[in-house]
Structure 1
């Protein structure tokens, strides 16, 4: 995934929308959706020989937790999801039609964590603190998976794994997940993606030289190799040959047994996009090419977070049907969400990448070199680029909600918006990994 430093690497409210969007949609607070439709929790993957079976602790984290929504005046997306208001319009509010009403009014959302600070001027929305019981349980389970099931990292990397705070990350990004089992689907995939990025591309032994071959073999853990009886055993053996492939293989095995076939194939497609983005960046590194700004942004549309929000329905325990997911307006919303969140990563990881060995491409660096800007002016322009992408995402989501007010589409839009918000909040609060430049 994007960023991926040596430390286990690589939205929506600082100011209200204005202008056209604000004039279309009066300030509203979107009511919380009902609990999601129950689904059978995924079957655990078989543990390796000698491993201690996973026995999830019975905690409040395993119960269905209603989605808590931050009051969000002026949001075009949430206004459309709520529907019209006033006398005689209750039956038209599409966002509330897929379940019973909440028994009590939603309390105000708690203030976001004081730890860390947002990039000044960055358009984003604060989120409630992730459920601490779920964070603790996801963190416990993912570390056990990493250590016992896939032997993901050596002992000396343990602090870096802990500092990634993946439990807080995934709980914050998927507030409508019915259970911790559902959250673990996303958490394993996130950790596996970062292991591939770190060990194949970045500072834990990665290199642009020969990357294509390594990624191809790793991708067969996600999209299985179909061959003759003579050669299949060698491929099967290769899946256990290194930590990234073990992680991909295990995480995908859990996912395909919980998701529908179309959701699994959608994820494979988005991971192929991601790997293509890795290869473009690697090719530029090998030739010393600094891309034009538009070229860099095109690369980042592929080397970005897209595989994460695209599975929001799987993690939520429902499915956005394949024909709806394939709509061009749905694809535009997903692409803009991935593009905006990836620039968030560029901004928060800027100082860390400057302190790392080698020449790291990120949007402020490319803007500085291609448009002859100072470091400060390039960084501030990157903030503007993010804000424009974020506004475009919200407008596209609002347009889609009006054009296709199908309950699963509306729920999927809410899930993607929650992922965008949670991704920013994780970057803001992860002071173990990120610090801001002194440009203000």
Structure 2
């Protein structure tokens, strides 16, 4: 497959930068980690935005301001596509480096560009990522799947995040009874989040993502899936749970009843607590962005529940539409909050950024369909996933449906990488480049967790 070409500059991106002017520059240039004085007070360096006479000057000023204040941790970046795998006996498609995309996400090089480097963090040194392992350390990747290996996550951070999240789940929100402890430990959420967010400046930044991940899974398990979930009445349960993220504004008479309801069950307790921690570190625009993506997620839950109630097997394109909402998108969308910086709201809202996020969410969610295939087949009733829908709707065998789903994932991954490269070229603002890199690393970390979580997942015997 040829290297993806770079699209021409999209007019909406420089226009957005121009409209925001000094405001965008000041927000984009906020330090990744605020220095703390001995007295415990935050000391944020002042940022002065020089007036720009045109779009190019503005973007250049933004790049210099952000690069001076914000560094990015070394991270695995998406690489170019390998050749197509043999459908009969494929090997795991571990992609070789693609210089163009890697160069774009690393930033400019050469004489006079040192000030634009995103490879350093001035405030807090980042741990150096170990080399990418030559072979997986645990589990088996799906043959033929297009993915990128990642370094083993820092074991010290993994242990600390695992300890803290279990204490939160048990002591703060009473998330699960004693007989669920094995499943909670087997989820390996600490390893998951450290692999997905290697640029998090502190463990507490990692905990922001970890609490939200655990809370989202509690809602899915308890309202929709394994632990008492049901499609009947799901809309009402999800609506009330969503008010733990997007609070109710009502009269004094009725406010206490709502506030008390936030402690009524484990999912709502988890949502309320995780969101409180998140908003302590997120900006208002980052929090509102997350609420929007969670509403998308809940809409996807409802569509799947409606199909379950009517025994409807959707067309493949309908299933993929549902999965664009019922997917992992809320996780990579907060990569800047977890990294300690902000992608300005007007840039995050751009259609090109939204397309990259949608493709990332879609690809990572199909990874879940593929790795959880045998787990879901073992549950009662029909569980919709992409291989099942393809097999039924296109009249092929289970094996052919599964292999076709692998191809769908690979197409989504390559589209994600091509769109990320085009966006990086069209809008080379350092906060955009860092956000794209963060999303790419989340995609890779998500695959790593699915591949290595042999407690939860095993592969079908199709090869």
With structure 2 as the length reference, what TM-score do the two structures score?
0.79
Q: 1:38 aligns with which of 33, 38, 59?
A: 33
1:232-247 equivalence runs, <5 A? 232-247=255-270
1:343 to 354, 366, 379: 366
**Distance apart, 1:321 and its partner CA:** 0.5
1:43-192 equivalent positions in 2, closer than 5 A: 66-69=73-76, 73-74=97-98, 76-83=100-107, 91=113, 94-96=116-118, 108-111=131-134, 113-192=136-215
* 1:61 alignment partner in structure 2: none
Aligned to 2:292: 269
In the TM superposition, residue 96 of structure 1 has moved relative to its aligned partner by: 3.2
| Deviation sequence 1:138-165 (CA, Å, 0-9, x none) | 0000000000000000000000000000
Q: How many Å separate the matches in 2 of 1:436 and 1:397?
A: 30
1:76-115 deviation digits (Å, cap 9, x = unpaired)? 4323223566xx5552895538757x99998743445421
Which 4+ residue blocks in structure 1 deviate beyond 4 angstroms? 92-95, 97-100, 102-107
Q: How many Å separate the matches in 1 of 2:6 and 2:300?
A: 38
| Whole-angstrom CA distance in 2 between matches of 1:276 and 1:75 | 39
User: Where does structure 2 lack aligned partners over 5 or more consecutive residues?
Assistant: 8-30, 37-70, 80-95
Return the offset for 1:257. Answer: 1.2
Is the contact between residue 82 and residue 93 of structure 1 (CA under 8 Å) also seen in structure 2?
no
Name stretches of at least 5 consecutive residues in structure 1 with no aligned partner.
1-17, 25-35, 42-63
Deviation of the 1:190 alpha carbon: 0.2
Q: Deviations over 1:207-250 (max 9, x none)?
A: 00000000000000000001011110000110000000000000
Deviations 1:50-96 (A, max 9, x none): xxxxxxxxxxxxxx9943447962154323223566xx555289553
C-alpha contact (below 8 Å) 1:306/1:338 kept by paired residues: yes
Separation of aligned partners in 2, 1:104 and 1:369: 48
Separation (CA, whole Å) in 1 of partners of 2:76 and 2:391: 38
Say if 1:290 and 1:186 are closer, same or farther in 2 by CA, change over 3 A: same
Counterpart Cα distance in 2 of 1:79 and 1:276: 38
- 1:348·1:435 contact (CA, 8 Å) conserved in 2? yes
Taking a change above 3 Å as real, the CA distance of residues 37 and 241 of structure 1, as seen in their structure-2 partners, is: same
Structure 2 partner of 1:6: none
Q: Which residue of 1 aligns with 2:357?
A: 334
1:364 and 1:96 map into 2 onto residues whose CA distance is: 40
> What does residue 414 of structure 2 align with?
391
Q: Compared with structure 1, are the counterparts of its residues 160 and 111 closer, same or farther at alpha carbon in structure 2 (3 Å cutoff)?
A: same
CA contact (8 A) 1:190 1:308 kept: yes
Q: Distance in 2 between matches of 1:417 and 1:275?
A: 24
C-alpha contact (below 8 Å) 2:162/2:189 kept by paired residues: yes
Q: CA deviation at 1:203?
A: 1.4
The Cα of 1:21 is off from its aligned counterpart by: 2.9
Between stretches 89-98 and 308-317, larger displacement belongs to 89-98
Q: Which moved more, 1:66-75 or 1:249-258?
A: 66-75
Query: Contact 2:130–2:152 (CA<8 Å) still a contact in 1?
Result: no
Is the 8 Å Cα contact of residues 333 and 397 (structure 1) preserved in structure 2?
yes
Q: 1:255 aligns with which of 278, 285, 301?
A: 278
Describe the superposition over 1:241-298 as per-residue Cα deviations: whole angstroms up to 9, x where unpaired: 0000000000000001111000000000000000000000000000010000000000
Aligned to 2:394: 371
Question: d(CA) in 2 for partners of 1:254 and 1:23?
Answer: 39
Deviations 1:27-56 (A, max 9, x none): xxxxxxxxx832379xxxxxxxxxxxxxxx
Contact 2:212/2:275 (8 A) holds in 1: yes
For residue 287 of structure 1, the aligned residue among 302, 307, 310 is 310
1:267–1:310: 8 Å Cα contact kept in structure 2? yes
2:343 counterpart residue number: 320
What is the count of residue pairs matched by the alignment? 388
How big is each residue's C-alpha offset from its partner over 1:329-384, in whole Å with a ceiling of 9 and x where there is no partner? 00000000000000000000000000111110000000000000100111000000
Could you say what secondary structure the match of 1:20 adopts?
coil
